[in-house]
Amino acid sequence: MKKFRSNWFRVAVEGATSDKRTIKRSWLEQAAKNFNPSTYGARIWLEHFRSLLPDSPFKAYGDVLAVKTEEVEINGQKKLALFAQVEPTPDLIAMNKAKQKIYTSIEIDDSFSDTGEAYIVGLAVTDSPASLGTDVLSFSAQKPESSPFKDRHYSATSMFTEAVETELRFEEVEDKPSLSAQLFSKVQALLGGKQARDDAEFAQIGQAVEAIADHVKDLPDQIAAEKKFSGELNTKVEQLSRDLVELKTTLGNTQDHSQAQRPPVTGGGKQALAEF
């Protein structure tokens, strides 16, 4: 099955209206820092309705893959914005091609689980910005008992942000197996392909592994012994070198009695050396 991924698109801005409180900058920072689909996956819903039925119009239409924050300029003011990237279902792609559900709103919990920090728990798409616009959200914040959203929230602390127009573009992505899955597959191939080996073959492999382990178990001790021997040998060589130098020095300063002595000088010409 083909997989698609969206472009990064803006879903919330600090100071924006929600159906409970004004969106804080710290919430967006925490949401970007904390989001992890493995912790809690934020799904895509119509109008923030969550249906339990897989064939319902209000079924899930994809998942949020990642969120991040960026500084943006709105009406000359710098503000922190939250951006999201999603993985759509074929139904959401079809809606997008038909120019349907082009507004998005996030559900943010400012005290998620036991963390005490903000987290993105859902994203909604809608055709009508008014359905999640400033007026209805402000009304809901002022009169929560009359809010049309009171039964749609993930938790008592979650809230819906104002819907913003979104230009969604989807690109196909190659669904590559993870590195660990690739490694496992290669190991399987080396051990005999995708079909399991019989007990005898696995026993042989086990014996081979044990033989290798037995062969190398004494290797650290052998290396240590070799290192010790090498050190001792080096010490002996150095001592022999010093002894040799000392011997050469001694020999150089010692008279050689095996050489013939020079005869005494008796004088020159017709004169003879007097003897007393």
Sign of the CA dihedral running 173, 44, 121, 124: positive
Beta pairing class for 9-13 and 77-88 = antiparallel
The one catalytic residue among 6, 19, 109, 140:
19
Q: Is 19 a catalytic residue?
A: yes
| 91 catalytic per annotation | no
Q: Provide long-range contacts, Cβ within 8 A and 24+ apart, for 90-99.
A: 91/61, 92/44, 92/61, 92/62, 92/125, 93/4, 93/170, 95/61, 95/125, 96/168, 96/170
- Find all residues with CB under 8 Å of 75, minimum gap 6, and list them: none
Q: Is position 18 annotated as part of the catalytic site?
A: no
DSSP 116: -
Catalytic annotation, pick one of 6, 105, 147, 158: 105
Overall size of the chain counted in residues = 276
Dihedral angle, C-alpha 75, 18, 139, 56, nearest 10 °: 120
Q: CA 135, CA 165: separation in Å to the nearest integer? A: 16
Annotated catalytic residue: which of 48, 110, 140, 147? 48
The two tokens of residue 85 are: 């990237």
Residues labelled catalytic: 19, 48, 105
